Amino acid sequence: MTSPTRPDAPTPAPAAPAVTAVQAMGWLHTARFLTTAPRLEHLPPHEVPEIAFVGRSNAGKSTCINRLTQQKRLAFASKTPGRTQAINLFALGKQGETDAVLADLPGYGYAAVPKADKIRWQQVMANYLVTRENLAGVVMLVDPRHGITELDDILLEVIRPRLEAGLKLLVLLTKADKLNRAEANKALSIARLQTAGGEVKLFSALKRQGLEETSLLLWQWTHPEPASP
């Protein structure tokens, strides 16, 4: 058999290896606890890109982080809403080298929280989202049975200028295992309209739905291809 390539033909430069979902999941599995910050000024500054998980209380943020990192108790998930009360950071990267950070943020909208605490947290969140310099992406978790609520909308407005400047956004409709196909499709279309074309996916920690695509996306956000000359 003869090779279609002539032996004296110049060898093409090897293409940058595309990362597979399995590799992205292996990378997420390296997650380790970095720090917890009760207030914004306690958050250590970083050079590496950070991805924030935001959403209403009980939407499934901590469970999603545990599922994505394939670690049962990395982020503290609970049936009691309002469980996550500080900003928790998790470092990612092989061989102990941190190349990205995940931030689990406290949920908003939990009715039983005293009003003053609610307002304080909304300010902390808004400050974080507006001022965190290394913020590369936001994953907003939405329970599709409630849809995108007023508080989610306010948050989207807060980050709108940054989205226009290149910040990434993924809206995950969580607990998708609780929806039938028709309900899931309806929830997807409504959320897509409400986020004005932003990326929206179904996610179920229980059924591992959306896991591979989300893992790959988080890798791509934090490891952008260098712009071609």
Residues that bind ligand GTP (CB under 6 A): 55, 57-63, 77-79, 81-84, 106-107, 174-175, 177-178, 204-206
Backbone angles phi, psi at 85, to 5 degrees: -115, 5
Q: Which one of ligand GTP, Mg ion, none interacts with residue 214, CB within 5 to 8 A by kind?
A: none
Q: Which one of ligand GTP, Mg ion, none interacts with residue 206, CB within 5 to 8 A by kind?
A: ligand GTP
Residue carrying the six token digits 């307002």: 119
We find the least distance from the C-beta atom of residue 154 to Mg ion, in angstroms, to be 19
**Residue 77 vs 100, nearer CB to ligand GTP:** 77
Beta strands in the chain (DSSP E): 32-37, 50-55, 87-92, 100-104, 135-142, 168-173, 199-202
**Residue 6 vs 115, nearer CB to ligand GTP:** 115
**Residue 168 vs 175, nearer CB to ligand GTP:** 175
Residue carrying the six token digits 């995940």: 102
Separation between Cα atoms, residue 76 and residue 99, nearest integer Å: 23
What single string gives the DSSP state of each residue in 16-32? PPPPPHHHHHHHHTT-E
We find the least distance from the C-beta atom of residue 76 to ligand GTP, in angstroms, to be 7
We find the least distance from the C-beta atom of residue 83 to Mg ion, in angstroms, to be 5
From the list 52, 55, 69, the residue with the least C-alpha distance to 131 is 52
We find the least distance from the C-beta atom of residue 182 to Mg ion, in angstroms, to be 29
**Residue 174 vs 195, nearer CB to ligand GTP:** 174
Q: Which one of Mg ion, ligand GTP, none interacts with residue 137, CB within 5 to 8 A by kind?
A: none
From the list 87, 98, 79, 109, the residue with the least C-alpha distance to 32 is 98
We find the least distance from the C-beta atom of residue 61 to Mg ion, in angstroms, to be 5
CA distances from 102 to 14, 82, 139 (A): 31, 19, 10
Binding interface with Mg ion (CB under 5 A): 61-62, 84
**Residue 84 vs 214, nearer CB to ligand GTP:** 84
Decide if 69 contacts 28 (C-beta within 8 A). yes
Q: Which one of Mg ion, ligand GTP, none interacts with residue 68, CB within 5 to 8 A by kind?
A: none
